[in-house]
Amino acid sequence: MKTIGMLRTALFVPATRPDRIDKALSAGADAVIIDLEDAVAHALKSEAREIARKKVLENVRGKLIVRVNAIGSGHNRKDLEFVPAASLTGIMLPKVESGDHIREIHERLLTCEKDRGIPPGSFSVIALIESARGVQNVFRIFSEAITPAREFMAAFGAADYSLDMGINITRDGAELNYPRSRIAVACRAAGKEPPVDTPFMIDLKDLDALRTDAGRAKALGFQGKLCIHPSQIAPCNEIFSPTPEEISYASRVVEAFEKSEAEGIGALQLDGKFIDYPVVERSRRIIRLSESVGRVK
């Protein structure tokens, strides 16, 4: 089973803008998502598929994901006929609300993989949770038993969620605490990687507000954020990478603990903080993450 790997940032580009797709691939995001769904006018769906297919076939550079249309949209099968090729990392499936959607997309992808001679389970799926029903069912969605194995990861979509709920998204984002927390906890409970957060849409120019919003999502357990403008990439990569202070403290924790463990002591204090096994394990994870983002202490 292939996996997407770390996703601090994934930048959306409409499939109808091939010029922007090329730029996006070198803009520093961990992945690029070519959109066939809501950023594409209904009349342009088939043109969009052609462009997405061409870009996927040309891709040699990075993690490329295509957001196909939802299962019941009438476009999904056609999208899947066009886009999957070996150079595609995975697809994003919008409007996921039940385990049936997971089983259905898995079956449809198995057919694509078989037709193209690609090993089953090669394409990962980012399932967008973006409705009250999706949020309510999130644990069941990600607990669906799938064979052969395929990676499923969650992302949160606040625009559709706010439409479904009839609520406004505010700068403070307090109304998103519940769905974010529920999604993050459910993913971990189902043994999945941490989810990716909704794009920040309410003020594209305010990068400080974006940083605050990303920090909130990180604090609730998200690993990264969907981006809708290249200017959002650097601040989000920064927020979702460990800080130099976190890395150096984590290294000190591991060092001090290993020394005391060798002396038969399982807990200690460092800078007035209590350190035991879970704290050390968390520090080790911070160090591993810092290595994968190319940061050292």
State the residues that interact with Mg ion by CB under 5 A: 130, 157, 160
104, two tokens: 């259905």
Alpha helices, DSSP H, located in 86-126: 99-116
Name the minimum Å distance from CB 59 to ligand GLV.
22
Q: Which is nearer to Mg ion, 113 or 130 (CB)?
A: 130
151 binds ligand GLV (CB under 6 A): no
Nearest to 37 by CA among 2, 8, 74: 74
Instruction: Annotate each residue in 126-145 with x if it binds ligand GLV (CB under 6 A) or - if it does not, as one string.
Output: --x-x---------------
Name the minimum Å distance from CB 34 to Mg ion.
15
213 binds ligand GLV (CB under 6 A): no
* Beta pairing class for 268-270 and 273-275: antiparallel
Do the beta carbons of residue 127 and residue 141 sit within 8 Å? yes
233 binds ligand GLV (CB under 6 A): no
Q: Which of 96, 158, 236, 280 binds ligand GLV (CB under 6 A)?
A: 158
289 binds ligand GLV (CB under 6 A): no
Nearest to 142 by CA among 103, 107, 96, 99: 99
197 binds ligand GLV (CB under 6 A): no
Q: Which is nearer to ligand GLV, 12 or 142 (CB)?
A: 12
Which amino acid is residue 283, in one-letter code?
S
Q: Which is nearer to ligand GLV, 54 or 182 (CB)?
A: 182
CA dihedral 8, 13, 18, 23 (to 10 degrees): -40
Nearest to 20 by CA among 40, 6, 4: 40
Binding site for ligand GLV (CB under 6 A): 38, 94, 128, 130, 157-160, 198
